[in-house]
Amino acid sequence: MSITDKSTQSRRQFFVSTSAIAAAAALPSAAISDPQNKPVSKTPIQITQSQPQSADVSKITQATLAEAEKLVGVEFTPKEREQMLQGMEDNTKRFKNRRSQELQNALAPATVFDPRFPGVKLVANKNKFIGSTVNPGPLPRASEDIAFAPVTALSYWIKNRKISSRRLTDIYIRRLRRIGPKLECVVTITNDLARQQAARADEEIKAGNYRGPLHGIPWGAKDLFDTAGITTSWGATPYKDRVPDEDAAVVKRLDEAGAVLIAKTTLGALAYGDIWFGGRTNNPWKLDQGSSGSSAGSSAGTAAGLFGFSLGTETLGSIVSPCMRCGTTGLRPTFGRVSRAGAMALCWSLDKVGPICRTVEDCALVLDVIRGHDPADASSIDMPFEFDATKSVSGLRVGYSPGWFDGRGATDNDRAALDALKKLGLEFVEVELPKWPYGMLMTILMSEAASAFEELTLSNLDDELVWQKPEAWPNSFRQTRFTPAIEFVQAQRFRRKVMQMMDDKFADIDVMISPSFAARLLLITNNTGHPSLTMRCGFNDDGTPHGITMLGRLFDEGTLCRIGMALEKQLNVWHKRPPAV
């Protein structure tokens, strides 16, 4: 469809006239569906540029350049500006012409990020998965006790036919209907599909065809993973009726493992925050508080016992933050570990897919299923995953900085987690990070995100997004139009410098532990691609949970999870349930 909004001509023309200082951006497409959620043709949103009211409006002059210089922090002389004018109109025409090309959201840039620093020897060298052998005991009588059980227990009961997948699915569907509206954490309950998959699982298990530990386990998918014939809205009003034709790669892999897709969970619009087109996702521990985001529904629903596990994504805290708020366990894998094919792209060099569960071992179980190389994802990396839940953690080395735990922002819960870890026979090594301007890495995130959703900015569909604060996407995308391409390249060069620094820090340690938002580590490690594990470590004065984060070496999620399991056992707080549900 063609979109022209004459009421915004002056604003849109301003963006066009100053595009000489804007980074190149991509034009994705949107899928449109009818109100019955039946797939129809995927029609790209066409951008129709507003025409200037007169020649004077679009004329680029020395005054135009002088004003633009203020936005990018440079200053040229009148003579230099005069010379620059000779090519500026050609630049603007080139930018406009580029927009005639359809660039879909999934189309990645030609340059592909690889977190492996040249010459680095990575730890895991073979695929090996050894889970714990603890018997969870008899099946509980109360449905609520079953609903809150970890996947390790649910898997045992299903494999040994103590409970059917169909009964477990019905337990979760009832909870989704009763509790889901309180939390505003679900976009779609996939009743029919879930019951079909559960029935299939029961038949296969009865016939002796057991697919593995996720067989028959109901799960929730963040609503940015494509599901064939089922609405995948990206949490945003312009896409709320979008119906894809094919499943995302992770959805396919979980289906092959026999898992049961029971819900599409909410996310903050376009993977930011907890506000979506249907409302705000709430924290099950405190209903008047948002669940944080952007994997808001996945975390809230898992914490509330609405499904066995869920999947989230992270670009900058979208697994870590809601797990902190809701008390779930979130594993952000190494960049490239899990395919993003069929998932909404926000930032092609930063997006990661990971599990949100109730326990650490559950996260390892899910990662083992969804990991693996996929040629459909340009950033996918083929690396082994080695995990042994029975192996001791004694002697492993943990990096930390005393200042992270003593400084402003650290809590008693953070310090208690550190003390608990010190009782496990681990060796502790003090580390310090250089005082660099890490904030410049945000240039990469903002530039990629504004490119991924340029169509919203240029068509004025950004006004349809519910969240319209200065820090929300609509305003951020507009501001980013004025980021010079040079700043984007320089940020990428700085990123490589940070990668080298983190490689040096991890040379002598196995994991790093810190308060979850300390020392810009969230920003740093999302850019370097290192994995993280966020887990509950205690409770705040208001009864809400608090989490701690550990960071692992590239592609060494196995060691990260082993230490996480030991800490989880030492703290013994993961099993407590939110009173609000």
Q: What is the DSSP string of 201-238?
A: HHHHHHTT----TTTT-EEEEETTB-BTTB---TT-GG
Average pLDDT, the chain: 89
Average pLDDT rounded to a whole number, residues 427-446: 97
Lowest mean pLDDT of 41-50, 184-193, 275-284, 320-329, name the range: 41-50
pLDDT in tens, 147-182: 999 999 999 999 999 999 999 999 999 999 999 999
Q: Is 502 within 8 Å of 525 (Cβ atoms)?
A: yes
The structural domain count of the chain equals: 2
Q: Is 166 within 8 Å of 191 (Cβ atoms)?
A: no
> 39 — phi, psi (to 5°)?
-60, 140
Q: For residues 192 and 325, state if they share a domain.
A: yes
**Is 287 inside any structural domain?**
yes
How many CB atoms are located within 10 Å of the residue 13 CB?
A: 17
Give the pTM. 0.89
Q: For residues 477 and 544, state if they share a domain.
A: no
Q: For residues 71 and 194, state if they share a domain.
A: no
**Is 345 inside any structural domain?**
yes
Q: Check pLDDT > 80 for residue 544.
A: yes
**Is 498 inside any structural domain?**
no
Q: Check pLDDT > 50 for residue 10.
A: no
Q: For residues 471 and 519, state if they share a domain.
A: no
Task: Give residue 319's pLDDT.
Answer: 98
pLDDT band at 134 (very low <50, low <70, confident <90, very high): confident
Domain range for 302 = 153-431+509-571
Task: Give residue 355's pLDDT.
Answer: 98
User: What percent of the chain stands above pLDDT 90?
Assistant: 80
Q: Check pLDDT > 90 for residue 520.
A: yes
Q: For residues 550 and 341, what is the distance between their CA atoms, to the nearest angstrom?
A: 27
pLDDT in tens, 25-74: 332 323 222 223 333 333 334 444 444 444 455 788 999 899 888 988 99
Q: For residues 426 and 446, state if they share a domain.
A: no
pLDDT in tens, 84-127: 888 888 888 888 889 888 899 999 999 999 999 887 677 767 89
The DSSP bridge pattern shows strands 279-280 and 2-3 to be unpaired
Cross-strand pairs, 186: 265
pLDDT in tens, 230-247: 999 999 999 999 999 999
Q: For residues 346 and 470, state if they share a domain.
A: no
pLDDT band at 409 (very low <50, low <70, confident <90, very high): confident
Task: Give residue 16's pLDDT.
Answer: 28
Average pLDDT rounded to a whole number, residues 371-379: 97
Task: Give residue 133's pLDDT.
Answer: 87
Q: Check pLDDT > 80 for residue 407.
A: no
Alpha-carbon torsion, ordered 276, 278, 279, 280, to 10 deg: -50
Q: What is the DSSP string of 129-174?
A: EE-------SPPSSHHHHHTS-HHHHHHHHHTTSS-HHHHHHHHHH
Task: Give residue 21's pLDDT.
Answer: 29
Task: Give residue 75's pLDDT.
Answer: 93
Catalytic residue annotation: 222, 294, 318
